[in-house]
A and B are shown apart, each in its own frame.
Chain A
Amino acid sequence: MNKLEKVKIMIDGLEIEVEKGTTVLEAAKEVGIHIPTLCYLKNVNEPSSCRACVVEVGPRLIASCTLKAEDGMNIKTNTKKVREARKTVVELILSDHKRECTSCLRNEKCELQSLANNLNIRELRFEGERTRAEIDYSSPAIVRDIEKCILCGRCIATCSNVQTVNAIGFINRGFGTIVGPSFDKPLADSVCINCGQCILACPVGALYEHENINDIWREIENPDKLVVVQTAPAVRVALGEEFGLPIGTRVTGKMVAALRKIGFDKVFDTDFAADLTIMEEGTELIKRLETGENLPLMTSCCPGWVKFVEHNFPNMLENLSTCKSPHEMEGALIKSYFAKRMNVDPKNIVVVSIMPCTAKKFESQREELSNQQMQDVDYVLTTRELAQMIKEAGIDFVNLKDEEFDNPFGEATGAGVIFGATGGVAEAALRTVFELVAGKDLDTVDFNAVRGIEGIKEATIELPNGAVINTAVINGLGNARKVMELIQKGEKNYQFIEVMACPGGCINGGGQPIVDKETRENIDVKIARSKAIYDEDKSLPIRKSHKNPYIKKIYDEFLGEPNSHLSHQLLHTNYVAREKF
């Protein structure tokens, strides 16, 4: 098909010319006509099943999301017939919906709610049997409420097509259709890797994080507890969105201030541990390169990715870096190094991580990530939960004065910051490995080859000692699966692979603020947030992990050297093979 071929169509009396292959929905948007959608998620889910986007074409009503514009088409989007049809569709959906809007976590951020409002639905003409099911709280990361599900299938398309995790699907048929794991198992017993991309895809409140807000309030209220919080790099570039700030606004200082106001005793930066990760993982990489064992080294910062490997590629567990993810490292150090320094019984320390991620909630409960029967991290909150707490506490977030993180885990380099975006871990590692191998300081800081939001990036990097590292930087598990299969077939050969489960990396994690679908169609959230991350990197005086003075200090005072015995005990972990089904 000739891509430049144009077709002329008429929409609501306006004649417009669009490229052949454009859908009527897109064409209408070009001329400022808003057609509502529910099931449609551009390039991900286009089943034309909800029927909210119907338009009149001749005598028929056709779903505009999949209807390709054809020469001479005469489309009407605002007729009685169209409005009635849309209204009926939404009324019918509401008649099989839980409708507890005021206490729903997605209140005011629900596509169904706003559509019902836009369509002026004030009463339901059709009521009857509703789908009934218990809420599935089994997973520590994700909660499923089938009674709110509208069967749009966006979560399934995301889970199966984008992430290739295949944890959920449609079950049964007709009115009995539900979305869930095979054999109607609880989510916790499925192959779900907790990435939470389904939550971002869900238009309503049928999928959401397993909330821990009340646990945190309880711990803060407890005078015997020292409640320590740490925040991941991606949180600071997204949190502002919850308070009306533009996408990509950095709110690091305000976030720290808000955390203090909430009542956390210490506010640390997970970026510090990111620097530490680079020391440990960089050293691990150099060692593996020397011995040639277990290559490629695969990053282990992302708990979604780790569980994905455990389920799907158990024969490659040895390739995962043994490093715990940064916030787990930091948790382990808080309950050892910091506890000792403060002279506090680690049992009385509560470590809370604010993460852009739902998988971290699962990760923090892994048995392997504990020391002396204490979990390294006690609670994980998503960016959204933090915003909720700030609101609940009545804090005027936008007008807060910037504050600084607490030490000793408050100082981080630009390398630690970029962990939040795809390619960041690889770049941070390269910055350090380069100099460690060279044995001297170098000017090399920016590794542009591994930046950008493309799903699979490859770079061949020659180290100062002549060694060559074939690197793959991957975001989105669908891409990861492709690469893993090529590796298994022997068609690809890498030494180092960075994987972040979520498309775009942690900046677009399953715990990040939900950006409504329309905004997502206009702005690439991934690009806007990652720009903020790299801006923060550039603004920092130190941009290489091994130059972080507090890192040097902790090795001098406590850990000894990277990959030391104590490091292994506190900062490294192991993995388990899991069932494929």
Chain B
Amino acid sequence: MEQTQTMCCNCGNQQDERNDKLNELIQKYRDVKGGLIPVLHGVQEIYGYLNEDALKVVSEELAVPMSEIYGVATFYSFFSLEPKGEHVIRVCLGTACYVKGAQQVLDKLSEKLNVEVNKTTEDQKFTLEASRCLGACGLAPVIMIDDDVYGKLTPEMVDEILEKYNK
């Protein structure tokens, strides 16, 4: 995903570009009824997570109290208040995947990456998440790494898949 690449760069231009994007986003939704959630999606796309300073701007500009924004941000599992790793691994724990051994795949990933579920590896490379049904039940068990779906997995296949991202 785009945003993950911009994460590592802290140069000034980057910052400006993001601020511009944020302003554009806010302009777009300023007068849209119920625009908060689309804006939060946008903020997460721009910054990779819901960054506190950006949320302050959102609160001010959309005139939504921060307590409400924070309530929304923590309600939905799609939003993250912490920066995520370069790659986000989502292990589907939907029923179809679960009955076909998704838990074992998740356990294996957690062991392999030495990271707990919903946490990011120390090197900021991977965030491991357990997800609800990804709707690719025909391929169960399934994981998604960024936007790519890997199906019909067994724990043994984990190594090979991770290899691709460890380059």
Q: Do chains A and B touch in the complex (CB under 8 A)?
A: yes
Interface check A166, CB cutoff 8 A? yes
Picked from B59, B71, B74, B75, the residue with its CB within 8 Å of the CB of A581 is: B59
Which of A92-100, A167-175, A372-380 lies at the interface with chain B? Answer: A167-175
| Of B52, B56, B67, B74, most A-chain CB atoms within 10 Å | B67
Query: Which residues of chain B are near A171, meaning CB under 8 Å?
Result: 70-71, 74
Interface residues of A, CB < 8 Å — how many? 16
CB distance from B69 to the nearest CB of A (A): 7
CB distance from B32 to the nearest CB of A (A): 21
- B74 near A172 with CB under 8 A, answer yes
Render B69-82 as a binary contact track against A, CB cut-off 8 A, 1 for contact: 11100110000010
B residues less than 8 Å from A169 (CB atoms): 65, 67-68, 70-71
Q: Known interface pairs A173-B75, A580-B60, A581-B59. Does A160 touch B70 (Cβ–Cβ under 8 Å)?
A: no
Contact B60 A167 (CB under 8 A): no
Contact of A167 among B59, B67, B74 (CB under 8 A): B67
**In the complex, are the beta carbons of A183 and B70 less than 8 A apart?**
yes
Residue A181, interface by CB 8 Å: yes
Q: Mark A288-313, 1 if CB is under 8 A from B, else 0.
A: 00000000000000000000000000
Q: Is B66 an interface residue (CB 8 A)?
A: yes
CA gap between A563 and B142 in the complex, in Å: 76
Q: Point out the residue from B52, B56, B65, B75 that lies within 8 Å of A166, measured CB to CB.
A: B65
**How many angstroms from the CA of A191 to the CA of B81 in the assembled complex?**
20
Type the 1/0 row for A546-581, where 1 means its CB is closer than 8 Å to any CB of B.
Answer: 000000000000000000000000000000000011
Assuming the A-B contacts A183-B52, A581-B56, are A173 and B74 also in contact, with contact meaning beta carbons closer than 8 angstroms in the complex?
A: yes
Within the assembled complex, what's the spacing in Å between the Cα atoms of A171 and B74? 6
Closest to A168 in B: B67
Main secondary structure of the interface of A (DSSP, over half): loop
Q: How far is the CA of A169 from the CA of B69 in the complex (A)?
A: 9
Q: Give the dominant DSSP class at B's interface.
A: helix
The A-B contact count (CB < 8 A) is: 40
B52 partner residues in chain A, CB cutoff 8 A: 183
Question: Within 8 Å CB of B69, what residues of A?
Answer: 182
State in angstroms the CA–CA spacing of A160 and B52 once bound together.
21
Tell me the chain B residues, 95-142 only, with Cβ under 8 Å from chain A: none
Taking a contact as CB atoms under 8 Å apart, the answer to whether A160 and B65 are in contact is yes
Contacts of A181 in B (CB 8 A): 67
- For A167, list chain B residues within 8 Å (CB): 67
Which A residues are CB-close (under 8 A) to B71? 169-171, 182
Residue of B nearest to A172 (CB): B74
Minimum CB–CB distance from B130 to chain A (whole Å) comes to 15
In whole angstroms, how far apart are the Cα atoms of A171 and B81 in the complex?
12
A403 to B: closest C-beta gap in Å: 46
Question: Smallest distance from the beta carbon of A474 to chain B beta carbons, Å?
Answer: 20
Residues of A within 8 A of B60 (CB): 580
A166-B68 contact given A183-B52, A581-B56, CB 8 Å threshold? yes
Contacts of A172 in B (CB 8 A): 74-75
Residues of A within 8 A of B70 (CB): 169, 171, 182-183
0/1 interface trace, chain A 503-540, chain B, CB 8 Å (1 if under): 00000000000000000000000000000000000000
How far, in whole Å, are A168 and B67 apart by their CA atoms in the complex? 6
Say yes or no: A182-B66 contact (C-beta < 8 A), given A580-B60, A581-B56, A581-B59: yes
CB distance from A422 to the nearest CB of B (A): 25
A183 to B52, CA, bound (A): 8
With the chains together, A580 CA to B57 CA distance in Å? 11
Return chain B residues, CB-CB under 8 Å to A191: 66
Contacts of B56 in A (CB 8 A): 580-581
10 nearest A-B pairs in the assembled complex, by CB-CB distance: A166-B65, A169-B67, A182-B70, A169-B71, A182-B66, A581-B66, A166-B67, A173-B75, A172-B74, A170-B71
Q: List 6 A-B contacts (CB under 8 A).
A: A156-B67, A160-B68, A168-B67, A169-B70, A169-B71, A171-B71
In addition to A172-B74, A182-B67, A183-B70, 4 A-B residue pairs with Cβ atoms within 8 Å of each other are: A166-B67, A171-B71, A181-B67, A191-B66
Which chain B residues have a beta carbon within 8 Å of chain A's beta carbons?
52, 56, 59-60, 65-71, 74-75, 81
